[in-house]
Copies of this chain bind each other. A is one copy, B any other.
Amino acid sequence: MQIAKVRGTVVSTHKEPTLRGVKLLLVQFIDEEGQLLPKYEVAGDQVGAGLDEWVLISRGSAARQMEGSEKRPIDAMVVAIIDTVNVENRLLYSKKEQYR
């Protein structure tokens, strides 16, 4: 999985019928130093992530292993909202710290 930051949303009314009701988030990937990478993805979201939150993205067929999405043409999905990221026992990111 990859760590990404929620940067925005994508809206479409003219789409594959099975995508109706699926929220589409624009997320940007983050490197192991916590910096934004020039790489983004549009991911389905059933977890309810908010703008600027760090999330975990699963891609490929894994993205469909969520209740109700098994038959959806989705290749990227938010699977978790991240609380903390530790690198070599150093706290790289903490959701609480972001909102103090």
Instruction: Report B-chain residues with C-beta under 8 Å of the C-beta of A8.
Output: 85-89, 92
Instruction: Report B-chain residues with C-beta under 8 Å of the C-beta of A84.
Output: 10-11
> Contact: A15 with B47, CB < 8 Å?
yes
Number of copies: 5
> Contact: A58 with B73, CB < 8 Å?
yes
Measured in the bound complex, the distance between the Cα atoms of B58 and A12 in whole Å is: 14
Residue tally, chain A, CB below 8 Å to B: 58
Contact of A60 among B42, B75, B85 (CB under 8 A): B75
Contact of A74 among B1, B12, B47 (CB under 8 A): B1
CB within 8 Å for A62 and B75 given contacts A10-B85, A24-B56, A31-B38: yes
